[in-house]
Amino acid sequence: MSTEGARLRLHKNKNELFLTLEGVFSSFYLVLTQTAIFTAIAIYFGLNEVWLGLAASFPMAFQVFQLFAPAVIEKIPSKKILLGFFNSGRFFWLVLLPFLFVQQRSPKLFIIIFALSQIFAAFAGNIWVSMISDMIPEERRGKYLGLRNFFVSLATLLIFYMFSVINDNVKIPFNFLLIITTAMLGSFVSLLTLIPLKERRSSKTGTVNDLKLVLADKNFMRLSKAYFAWNFVVLMAAPFFPYHQLHNLKLPMTYISYASIAASVLSMIFYTIWGKLSDEFGHKSVLIAGLSIVSITPAIWILMNEKDWILAMTLDAILSGVGWAAVNLAFITLPMETASSNSPMYFAVFSALGGLGGMIGSIVGGSIARFFNSFDFYAGGFHIYGLQIFFIIESVLRYSVIPLFAKISSRKYVSLPTLFTNVLSVLSGRHVVRIQEGNRSEVIIGRRRVNRWW
Q: Confirm if 290 and 325 have CB atoms less than 8 A apart.
A: yes
Cβ-based burial of 449 (10 A; exposed 0-12, middle 13-18, buried ≥19): exposed
Q: What beta strand segments (E) does 286-344 contain?
A: none
Residue whose C-alpha is closest to residue 26's, from 156, 191, 190: 190
| 198: DSSP letter | P
| 208: DSSP letter | T
Task: Please give the pLDDT value at position 260.
Answer: 84
Alpha helices of 295-308 — where are they, by DSSP H?
297-300
Q: What beta strand segments (E) does 141-248 contain?
A: none
Residues 6+ apart with CB under 8 A from 158: none
Tell me the whole-structure pTM to 2 decimals.
0.72
Task: Please give the pLDDT value at position 358.
Answer: 87
CA–CA dist 346, 214 (Å, integer): 6
Task: Please give the pLDDT value at position 448.
Answer: 37
Residue whose C-alpha is closest to residue 30's, from 174, 136, 133, 184: 184
Residue whose C-alpha is closest to residue 307's, from 379, 389, 395: 379
CA–CA dist 276, 140 (Å, integer): 9
Residue type, 123: F
CA–CA dist 13, 197 (Å, integer): 10
Task: Please give the pLDDT value at position 9.
Answer: 60
Task: Please give the pLDDT value at position 45.
Answer: 94
Binned average pLDDT, 10 residues per bin, the chain of 454 residues: 50 86 96 91 90 81 79 80 94 96 92 94 85 82 83 89 94 96 97 90 59 89 96 92 91 88 86 82 88 96 93 95 92 87 82 88 88 88 92 97 92 69 63 40 35 24
CA–CA dist 309, 384 (Å, integer): 12
Beta strand 443-445 with 376-379 is unpaired
* 3 state SS of 448: strand
